[in-house]
Chains A and B, each alone.
Chain A
Amino acid sequence: MSGDMNLLEVEDLRIELTADNGRYPAVEGVSFTIARGETVGLVGESGCGKSITALSVMGLLRHPLALAGGKIRLTGQEIQDLPPAEMRALRGKRIAMIFQEPMTALNPLKTVGRQIAEMYVLHQGANWNDADARAVEALKQVKVPAPERRARAYPHELSGGMRQRVMIAIALACEPDLLIADEPTTALDVTVQSEIVDLMKELCSAKGTAILMISHDLGLVTDICKRVCVMYAGRIVEQQDSEMIFNRPQHPYTQGLVASLPRLGMRARHGRQRLTEISGVVPGITAYPDGCRFHPRCGRKTEICEKVAPELTPLADGALVRCYHYG
């Protein structure tokens, strides 16, 4: 196997939703790669399939969602069909995940120290005494003040930002190769958001951990990620370097996302203006339109957009776009 092998390769992923009247593709033809230590963003509105893509990598899809095709490779090894016991050994140890809502993602009846300590007991065979001591160290690493005392606190006794630090400590406890962060800052105050993002960046780059950052916030993602995949209605519609996506968005949907970001100084230059929005909403999984799934909301649609779904078109610098009328 080559030395520059990708850490994670997702190829032609298909996830189906089982409903009363049939099965619907919730995610289709999603492919992306993450190199060791790389940070990749997955951006899109709520309901476009970002989180379930992440859960499928973790092997945590649950009924009514199920993997229906495609390959997920971790350092070359296919993991999508691993037996449960082998998948559990990877989960938490090599791939870890941080969730959106740190209040409900932690067990309310266990001290946060104990919830971190579980990782050492599970994956490193530590006894509880050692594990508890290492949990205090882990809290120190995520810059929780008074870690000895906080380790004995229950989640409800901590602030949202503190709880998310605890989640990060849990996720990074076993120094995983890949950290999946699913909207890690959405539930937090703006000032706390940047602290949490900085902390993740700092700890992951120190340990060489790759990050798959999932967010609806294009600004946040381009801030920490080298590469960004934009998802819409279960498909990747554009993949670009972060810098380029702001300056040269190719897909009409990405252009809409970029245009809808508020910018400092905009009012001074252009006078009072309404923020741009993309009209309409993401269609539900059971109601994806034929052809390009964005066409009902697109200003550039032509006849072909309504009938034939566009394929991903390679552009310069490894960028990809799924549109007949990009640019």
Chain B
Amino acid sequence: MFGFVLRRVLQMVPMLIAIALLIFVLFSLIPGSFATGQQDEGLGLDMAVVARMRAELGLDDPLYVRFGRYVQQLATLDLGISFRSKQPVIEMISARLWPSLSLTAAAMGFAISVGLPLGFVAALRPGSVADLSLMVIAVSGLSLPVFWLGILLMYLFALTLGWFPSFGYGDGGLWHLALPAMALGVSPMALLARTTRAAVLDIMNADFVRTARSKGMNEFRVVVWHVLRNALVLVLTTIGLQFGSLLGQGVVVEKLFAWPGVGSLLVDSVFQRDIPAVQGCILMITLFFLVINTSVDIAYKLIDPRIRYT
């Protein structure tokens, strides 16, 4: 087991390097720079100033020189200095990391704690009123754009009912977290409900469930002893993929709710052409995705004895 975990963790390193290089190359190909970006905003900088800024920021060096510098920095876990705030990017990100992680975790917690039971209930009574209405909810949850849903939640729970603050981080507690987490969690919740329903229906028709019934078990025991864990194996993939991509999807929700996370830092940095900050944010989101994926693989191994160390 330890060897398996170690191998999976080591496999993340080349992935991260490859992605770092991809990000670098992509940003070198994009037209425009931090210097011209200042000019675009009508600050009226003349060309001499632009040229000086470009030289100061090292943008005049050829691609391979900048690339070499970038790799050198990465090797020492240095994500560079932000063009805009002149702060080390790693410090900017770490300040934003906790709000982002807590938002993502809360959204996923919401999705799992609501989506899994809903999917189960729907699957145990296929075709029933409960099943049909749950699936209507699920489809609506999947189709609502997240920014629209966020606005609806603000309107209902903050403006009308006054239960939660309409935006802001506050002290980072649950009270401030609730609305953005719900807005972010509805789509994975809906997807999880559907996946769980399909998985449970699939397992309920399996031969070993017939065997369990032939043993004289009641349906409750059939589900708890034989269906739950098998269905979980099927649902785990969806949980992992959704969880991993939530940090990236959080960009919209963070902007909407003025949540000081990595996502809103990323959006601001993109508008400012603050390339080191953008690269740092993307790398961080990638790392998060890889960590979640690796954890899912390890969880598989714990749940399903058929999975081999390969």
Contact = CB atoms under 8 A, between A and B. Distances in A.
Interface of A: 58, 60, 84-85, 88-93, 96-97, 99, 101, 104-110, 118-119, 122-123, 154, 156, 167, 170
A110 B229 CA distance: 10
A92 B215 contact: yes
Q: Which 7 A-B pairs have the closest CB atoms?
A: A92-B216, A91-B216, A104-B207, A92-B215, A107-B208, A88-B216, A154-B305
B54 interface: no
Given A154-B305, A156-B306, A91 B215 contact: yes
B233 interface: yes
Contacts of A88: 216-218
Contact of A96 (B206, B213, B214, B221): B214
Q: How large is the interface on B (under 10, 10 to 19, 20 to 34, 35 or more residues)?
A: 20 to 34
B57 interface: no
19 contacts: A60-B213, A84-B218, A88-B217, A91-B215, A99-B207, A104-B208, A106-B211, A107-B208, A107-B226, A109-B233, A109-B303, A109-B304, A110-B225, A118-B225, A119-B215, A122-B216, A123-B216, A156-B305, A170-B215
B125 interface: no
B216 A99 contact: no
A108 B208 CA distance: 8
Given A109-B233, A154-B305, 11 more contacts: A91-B216, A92-B216, A99-B214, A105-B211, A106-B211, A107-B211, A108-B305, A109-B305, A110-B225, A123-B216, A156-B306
Contacts of B208: 104-108
B230 interface: yes
Nearest to B225: A118
A122 B217 contact: yes
Q: Looking at chain A's contact residues, is the secondary structure mostly helix, strand, loop, or mixed?
A: mixed
A108 B230 contact: yes
A141 B240 CA distance: 44
Interface string B287-310: 000000000000000011110000
A116 to B, nearest CB: 10
Contacts of A118: 215, 217, 225
B207 A154 contact: no
Contacts of B206: 104
Interface in B57-111: none
A107 B223 CA distance: 12
Contacts of A96: 214
Interface string B192-218: 000000000000001110111111111
A122 B224 CA distance: 14
Contacts of A99: 207, 210-211, 214
A60 B215 contact: no
Contacts of A104: 206-208
Contacts of B217: 88, 92, 118, 122
A91 B211 contact: no
A85 B306 CA distance: 34
A167 B304 CA distance: 21
Interface in B147-204: none
B214 A91 contact: yes
A324 to B, nearest CB: 39
